[in-house]
Amino acid sequence: MSRNELEQEDFYGLGIAPTLLERIESLGFKHPTPIQHKAIPIACRGEDVVGIAQTGTGKTLAFSVPMLQQMSARGKKGLVLLPTRELAIQVLETLTKLASPLGLRTALLIGGTNQNPQVKQLRAKPHVIVATPGRLIDMMEQKHASLDQIGVLVLDEADRMLDMGFAPQLKKILAKVPTDRQTMLFSATMPEQIAQIAKQYMKSPLRVEVAPSGTTAERVDQEMFIVSKNEKNELLERLLREYTGTILVFSRTKHGAKKIARQIRDLGHSAAELHSNRSQSQRQEALKGFSSGKYRVMVATDIAARGIDVKNIELVINFDLPDQLEDYVHRIGRTGRAGRSGKAISFAVPEQKNDILQIERMIKTTLPIKTKTGELMTRKPDARPTGSYGPGPRSGRGGGRGGSPRSRPGGGRGDRPGGRERSGNR
């Protein structure tokens, strides 16, 4: 179904119960997104679903509506697992809005905060638990949480959970959830590990996919600048002058994020930070301030690549390319959300030409390559995987086989074990 046809569709006819339909309508949701249109009817029938869709496509509603409906019909409880605190909080907000007329109670289990209020929520016997894996296991080990009554399990951003090293925790949790359950798995990509989880822990799941794995947002205009490390700050300063809207800057490390944010503030721009050295209250204040306009610029590490749900971000800047090149898609997906247009600009040092080629192979797109001054570069006809560029008019497509350590799991450098910063969910 085309985008224009979907814009004429509504949520009626997707198998949603009248009470939930009324609630969806009252919350202002008028037309289902492609992933909602495909996943909701299947999940509302109680079948297992594997949903593949990029970030910003409405996956939260795609699993929340069927989960609440199945819980009401079957008298079971629900569990939603997510990789980061920020995503967990966003999902809880959506669930709370939908569940309020149904009288359902929720509990939020995330690390980095006092567990006593969370224990209190568990004692109230919640119908839905939204959790990060580390904190949920902590609660299970302390006998505060039991999964015996879980009838609907959702694994959201499953590829990200595996990338962050949560595979052992996921297996431990899956072993405690009753086998007589409905399971919904949502992911932006479909690596082999995800396929194995689906095969081992799901019952003949139906796969719905609205974009090929690795697809970037449709209306995001992308550019790549090759600059020396010392030239990055000068280019960043220029872009902050050229673009007047809200800007999200990604740094590879938390120390780098702090330094970049300080430099941006020194230039007279309001800027917030989002990384694992920030407390949960500081993170929430930063997100709220960024959304409200208090901060024009947010500087973040990859814990925010899928954890920021802020509309109308004009520009995403990759000050550093990500350690895991797959995260490029999730970073730039913070702009151009829900069909809007956006801009993504990445900085690469000359030694990273091979990484650029790998990104292009992944997203199946040839990126404009520019110098610091904005002059367009081109690949020479005999370009090898290491990259051979020169100034001049653009010609040809990028390609080649890369062997960069950044493209291999655990091959990058970072502030957390395994090469990347951990989000601190324990």
List, for residues 155-194, the tens digit of each pLDDT value: 998 988 887 789 999 999 999 999 999 999 998 878 888 8
Boundary-marking domain end, from 209, 240, 258: 209
Residue 255 lies in a domain: yes
Read off the pTM: 0.65
Boundary-marking domain end, from 209, 231, 250: 209
87 and 146 in a common domain: yes
List, for residues 242-270, the tens digit of each pLDDT value: 998 899 999 999 999 999 999 999 999 99
List, for residues 305-330, the tens digit of each pLDDT value: 556 767 778 899 999 999 887 788 87
Residue 124 lies in a domain: yes
195 and 241 in a common domain: no
231 and 146 in a common domain: no
Greater pLDDT, 187 or 399? 187
233 and 114 in a common domain: no
Confirm if 110 and 89 have CB atoms less than 8 A apart. yes
Greater pLDDT, 327 or 121? 121
Q: How confident is the model at residue 414 (pLDDT cuts 50, 70, 90)?
A: very low
Mean pLDDT of 274-283: 84
List, for residues 287-306, the tens digit of each pLDDT value: 888 888 899 999 999 875 55
pLDDT of residue 211: 60
For residue 258, what is the domain's CATH number?
A: 3.40.50.300
Q: Kindly report the CA angle at 12 between 8 and 18, in degrees rounded to 5?
A: 150
pLDDT of residue 131: 97
d(CA 169, CA 162): 10
225 and 201 in a common domain: no
d(CA 421, CA 320): 14
d(CA 178, CA 130): 17
Q: What is the dihedral of CA 105, 109, 113, 114, to 10 degrees?
A: 70
Q: Looking at residue 12, what DSSP letter applies?
A: T
Residue 412 lies in a domain: no
Query: What type of residue sits at position 293?
Result: G
Boundary-marking domain end, from 209, 233, 254: 209
Q: How confident is the model at residue 216 (pLDDT cuts 50, 70, 90)?
A: low
Long-range contacts of 122-129 (CB under 8 A, 24+ apart): 126/77, 127/71, 127/77, 127/78, 127/99, 128/67, 128/68, 128/71, 128/77, 128/78, 128/79, 128/80, 128/95, 128/99, 128/104, 129/77, 129/78, 129/79, 129/80
Residue 15 lies in a domain: yes
Give me the number of domains the chain comprises: 2
- What percentage of the chain exceeds 90 in pLDDT? 46
Confirm if 300 and 318 have CB atoms less than 8 A apart. no
Confirm if 162 and 83 have CB atoms less than 8 A apart. no
Residue 215 lies in a domain: no
pLDDT greater than 50 at residue 424? no
330 and 390 in a common domain: yes
Confirm if 133 and 81 have CB atoms less than 8 A apart. yes
Contacts of 40 (CB under 8 A, 6+ apart): 11, 14, 15, 16, 32, 62, 65, 66
pLDDT of residue 218: 58
Residue 151 lies in a domain: yes
pLDDT of residue 339: 56
pLDDT of residue 71: 86
Residue 83 lies in a domain: yes
Q: Which domain holds residue 243?
A: 220-407
173 and 53 in a common domain: yes
Residue 419 lies in a domain: no
203 and 233 in a common domain: no
- Smallest CA-to-CA distance from 104 within 19, 31, 13 is with 19
What is the pLDDT of the chain when averaged over all its residues?
82
402 and 347 in a common domain: yes
pLDDT of residue 183: 96
List, for residues 373-389, the tens digit of each pLDDT value: 878 877 665 444 344 45
224 and 199 in a common domain: no
27 and 52 in a common domain: yes
Greater pLDDT, 284 or 249? 249
Mean pLDDT of 399-426: 37
41 and 9 in a common domain: yes
The pair of structure tokens assigned to 338 is: 């829900």
- Smallest CA-to-CA distance from 332 within 266, 232, 271, 249 is with 249
Phi, psi dihedral angles at 404 (to 5 degrees): -65, 140
DSSP conformation letters of 267-295:
TT--EEEESTTS-HHHHHHHHHHHHHTS-
